[in-house]
Chains A and B, each alone.
Chain A
Amino acid sequence: MDQLPILIIVFPLFTAFALTLLGWFRPAVCQPLTVVGLLGSSLSAIATLAQVVNSGPISYHLGGWAPPFGIEYRVDALNAMVLMMVSSVALLVAVYARKPVQKELGGKISNFYTLFILLVTGLLGITITGDAFNLYVLLEIAALTSYALIALGRGRAYMATFNYVILGTVGACFYLLGVGFLLIKTGTLNMVDIGSIVPSLSGSRAILVAFAFLMMGCWLKMALFPFHGWLPNAYTNAPTAVSCLVAPLMTKVSVYVMLRIMFTMYSVDWVFSVITWKPLVMALAVIAILMGSCFALAQRNIKRMLTYLIVAEIGYMVGGAWLGNASGYIGASYHILADGLMTVCLFMVVGSIVYKRGRAHIEDFKGAFSTMPWTMGAFILGALSMIGVPPTCGFFSKWYLLSGAYQSGDYAFGVALLLSSLINAVLFIRIVETAFFSATSDEEPDPHSHQETCYADSPPSMLLPLWASALALLAMGLYSSEIVTRWIQPVIPGGLL
């Protein structure tokens, strides 16, 4: 089918319109409609991935205008993979969100779902577009809807969102500045076209400044140290369903944008030979990993702890991309998938705990193995993936990243990766312990008592997507070789060893 790429965007976009209209009259129909729209989008994304893997990159011209003057949607294996991840994760969260949204956002259901699906549209658009300015537009669509969604959390969320607005705008504007410089020097906005002109302009200072602005914009959006200040507050104070959607997706899509800028708009040669930023960026990545992990240790609110772990995971991906070898690139792209799944799994667990107990501090996990066994089972899989225990996917991303670090001699990055695995182990063991031992240290339970613990797990509409993501972690791990050879290796930028 030729129209598959545009269908990925059309399904959620038209569903958004339908939601705005229908939501007025019948709020109850919002969630099913959202699920249907996202289902259409996911199926198109999966079909697109299959098509790209079999026959190479697809180029879709919007409105029939040929690039580089028209806007082009260009799908190669890298963004097909990310498209599939974004739409599938959004679908899972849409199914999951039914009960939490009813509970937390009772009167605003239609608004929520409209914003939800517009956010997904924006993210999908960012991933699929091949035009630099179109990316800015969609970046802002995604950003604005996410501001509104996070602000639905009320209370502390307002200030957090305001900070996010300020910093997010700065980021997007830096990106726009970068695109402006590129436009002046190359005269085109099409990414592939820019990529073909930049090598002839290697010496130009304007190109260098453009790269600097583009990178800083991406780093702000993905919360790389030292631009991470907005993330913990914003994601912690958002409503449950919003964090489940935003946390796995927004930062990963920004990582994808960085990969596009580095390897499609600029080239391997430019990034690693013409400029000498690699040591600085690797240092930032290492600090991000260590700092994220250490701050996570200090948190009692588990949701907040997870947001700091996101900061650390971003360090993995940025470090992997900037290692400059094929292993690092594979690690970074594979980790986009893996981290999306892990984050959605863990945030859904935390969301279930919040749904049941009102809060997600570490004490709220007490006895959870007896009362919420299914939720905790999925939590264990997610935790194992974060720690990096085989055969979950987290192990394989660490494998590639560590191999890449060893090959390129960036031992500090390798040590940071191992330390963060160990710290993650401590973090999750703490939670598992609390969940396993239901007594506080003051009361000693009779070890031979046979109390009936009441089973009070989440409803199936929340458990099913949770377990889907947990099993996907395992499946992704076991099939990691397939994924790497068929989806990632064909698009490793030339010049990376």
Chain B
Amino acid sequence: MTQAVTSFTPVAIVLISALAVIPISLSGRKPNLREFWTFLAGFMKLALLYTLLDPVMHGIRVEWELCQVLPGLSLQFRVDSFGLLFAFVACTLWIPTSLYCIGYMRGLNEHAQTRFFACFALALSATAGVAFAGNLLTLYVFYEILSLSTFPLVAHHQDSEARTGGRKYLTYLLGTSIGFVLPAMIITYQMTGTLEFSSLGIFSDVTKPGSLLVLLLLFLFGFAKSGLMPFHSWLPGAMVAPTPVSALLHAVAVVKVGVFCNLRVITGVFGIELLSDTSLDNVICVIAGITVILSSLIALTQDNLKRRLAFSTVGQLSYIILGAGLAESYGVKGAMLHICMHAFGKITLFMCAGAIFVATGKKYISQMVGLGRRMPFTFGAFLIGSLSVIGLPPAGGFISKWLLLTGTIESGHWYMMLVLLGSSLLNAAYFFPIIYQAFFGTAKEEDAVAIQEAPLACTLPLCFTALASIVLFFFPEPFFSLATLAVGG
């Protein structure tokens, strides 16, 4: 059925940004040279990813075994369409974010920029590692590397707020991965003798539904990067990081790694048929559904823009898990596509929040009345980003939401449709007022009405990603075909 080809390319993709850490650290004194390395690594990664597109679209799996670490288990890479989709999203978005970082960090004259860019590169390396992981063990290894490499980014400001945020970050992420995922992984290995992902799931033999339920819960909550309640508090807490960090990592890489892992477990370890046969899919739907509604409600109460965006992310992530929990091809396809669409939309939103801070120093929504007239491009992009997240045309998010809704009908989970529609309304409720107030509200103070945007290095990327969201609505390739391939046509 699927051919397998051995190629060093996946390893190269992972290694490029890891190796880039060395020149980045060495060129600390020459900022332009240092940033050049980041861009070079980013473009090289993308180029290599394109070379993988053709074989994967034809159903060939690209593999590479790293080393055997346990008798019978090795660290291995295996690129399939889902992994490639995720890798594309992360690597594509790294480049505009790097440009944005330059604008933001220099605009605010931040300290320790070398460390920042070096850790960024390492984090992208780990993300690519997760995307290409061929078995649970490799997935776990790179998941942990990601948690550790993003800690210096989250705690970048090195003040007491950063300390608390960083501590919460590591506690939640390491605690859940060691406390939940590790035992679940070991038990799975003991029960089935393998940890490789297979589209039929690896629990093909009859196992007690009780143990399946326990394992499912351990895996779902163990990958706490996906923000399922109640293990979501690290995400709003991590907003103490500089906005570029929030933008890429928490809207795109870190949290998407979490949902990616959950999706891999649902589709590759348990298998969709097994879940619907044992009606464990309802469990997933309920857990995700609760998070969706609760997080949207909490987002309504937040005045700090970044925190509101953080809770919005928590909700959107659970959409993805909900889609997978529908245990049906439209739902899973919608979930995979939503990883992509939400990434573009959310990164736009976060970059806008950062641009606002750089240009005006404002963090709270109540302060942003009338700001839209001063920063039309930024808020225009914000509008498009919100459209994508809410799921309205002409933004790309519409396609993924449509697929998710179709999935709820096809799989018979009617009440989930209500959840999806209800939360979309809530999304609109917490996004539109911001935009309305920004463009049509009257500010209390008399400010100059002249256009005064953030530096070009900040504004350009966010316009790019906003435009990309619109373009994806019309031309969702290659993501759409990759997702279609992943669910089996």
Contact = CB atoms under 8 A, between A and B. Distances in A.
Direct contact of A and B (CB under 8 A): yes
Interface of A: 384, 387-391, 396, 398-399, 402-403, 406-407, 414, 418, 421-422, 425-426, 429, 433, 436-439, 441, 444-445, 447-450, 477-482, 484-485, 489
A92 B163 CA distance: 35
A482 B74 CA distance: 12
B109 A448 contact: yes
B183 A421 contact: no
B171 interface: yes
Contact of A429 (B75, B110, B170): B170
A433 B75 CA distance: 30
22 contacts: A384-B148, A389-B148, A390-B69, A402-B182, A403-B186, A403-B189, A418-B183, A422-B174, A422-B175, A425-B170, A425-B178, A426-B171, A429-B170, A433-B167, A436-B155, A436-B166, A441-B160, A448-B108, A450-B111, A478-B67, A478-B69, A480-B70
Contacts of A433: 155, 163, 166-167
Contact of B174 (A425, A436, A481, A485): A425
How many chain B residues sit at the interface, stated as a range, is: 35 or more
Contacts of A391: 69, 75, 141
A414 B183 contact: yes
B363 interface: no
Given A406-B190, A445-B158, A477-B69, A418 B111 contact: no
A396 B69 contact: yes
Interface string B164-186: 00110011001100110011001
Given A425-B171, A433-B166, A448-B108, 6 more contacts: A391-B75, A396-B70, A433-B163, A444-B159, A480-B69, A481-B74
B187 interface: yes
A407 B190 contact: yes
Interface string B28-72: 000000000000000000000000000000000000000111110
B68 A481 contact: yes
B71, B108, B155, B186 — most chain A CB neighbours (10 Å):
B186
A459 B108 CA distance: 37
Given A389-B148, A422-B179, A399 B70 contact: yes
- The DSSP consensus for interface residues of chain B is helix
B84 interface: no
A391, A407, A479 — most chain B CB neighbours (10 Å):
A391
B347 interface: no
Interface of B: 67-71, 73-75, 108-111, 137, 140-141, 144, 148, 152, 155, 157-160, 162-163, 166-167, 170-171, 174-175, 178-179, 182-183, 186-187, 189-190
Nearest to B115: A369
A406 B144 contact: no
Contact of B158 (A387, A406, A422, A437): A437
Contacts of A480: 69-70
Nearest to A391: B141
B155 A437 contact: yes
A387, A388, A429 — most chain B CB neighbours (10 Å):
A429
Contacts of B175: 422, 425
A115 B158 CA distance: 46
A421 B175 CA distance: 9
A402 B190 CA distance: 10
A447 B110 contact: yes
A414 B183 CA distance: 8
A376 to B, nearest CB: 12
A8 to B, nearest CB: 29
B178 A485 contact: no
Nearest to A484: B71
B158 A436 contact: yes
Contact of A481 (B69, B162, B186): B69
A482 B144 CA distance: 23
Contacts of B157: 447
Contacts of B163: 433, 437
Given A429-B167, A447-B111, A450-B111, A402 B71 contact: no
A482 B111 CA distance: 44
Closest 4 pairs between A and B when the two form their complex, measured CB to CB: A390-B141, A481-B68, A447-B157, A402-B186
Contact of A447 (B70, B74, B137, B158): B158
Contacts of B182: 388, 398, 402, 418, 421
A445 B160 CA distance: 10
A447 B159 contact: yes
Given A406-B187, A406-B190, A422 B178 contact: yes
A42 to B, nearest CB: 26
Nearest to A450: B111
B133 to A, nearest CB: 12
Contacts of A429: 167, 170-171, 174
A364 B75 CA distance: 38
Contacts of B189: 403
Nearest to B137: A390
Contacts of B170: 425, 429
A195 B212 CA distance: 45
Nearest to B72: A481
Nearest to A402: B186
A399 B71 contact: no
Contacts of B74: 481
A148 to B, nearest CB: 41
B159 A449 contact: no
A399 B110 contact: no
A399 B189 CA distance: 11
Contacts of A478: 67, 69
Contacts of B158: 436-439, 445, 447
B75 A418 contact: no
A449 B167 contact: no
Contact of B70 (A388, A402, A439, A481): A481
Contacts of B166: 433, 436
Contacts of A421: 178-179, 182
Nearest to B189: A403
Given A407-B190, A485-B71, A390 B140 contact: yes
A418 B178 contact: yes
Contacts of A389: 144, 148, 174, 178
Contacts of A414: 183
A422 B73 CA distance: 25
A49 to B, nearest CB: 20
A426 B170 CA distance: 9
